[in-house]
């Protein structure tokens, strides 16, 4: 029983990672993150 619980936990973690990856690499989020990084670098100089 414990092994199946670990397997389900791993499957859930991988599914969450895939969804998070898709969100972060989407065009809108990617552009927003790029803008944040650019503003941070401009402010540092």
- pLDDT for 8 equals 94
> 3-class SS at 26?
coil
Q: What percent of the chain has pLDDT over 90?
A: 47
- The tally of domains found in the chain comes to 1
**Average pLDDT over the chain, rounded to an integer:** 88
Q: Supply 36's token pair.
A: 């944040």
Residue 9 has what pLDDT? 93
pLDDT band at 28 (very low <50, low <70, confident <90, very high): confident
| Cα 24 to Cα 19: distance, rounded to the nearest angstrom | 9
Domain around 33: 2-44
Quote the CA–CA distance of 27 and 31 in Å, as a whole number: 6
């Amino acid at each position: 029983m414990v092994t199946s619980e670990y397997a389900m936990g791993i499957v859930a973690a991988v599914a969450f990672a895939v969804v998070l990856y898709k969100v972060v690499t989407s065009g809108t989020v990617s552009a927003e993150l790029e803008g944040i990084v650019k503003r941070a670098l401009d402010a540092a100089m």
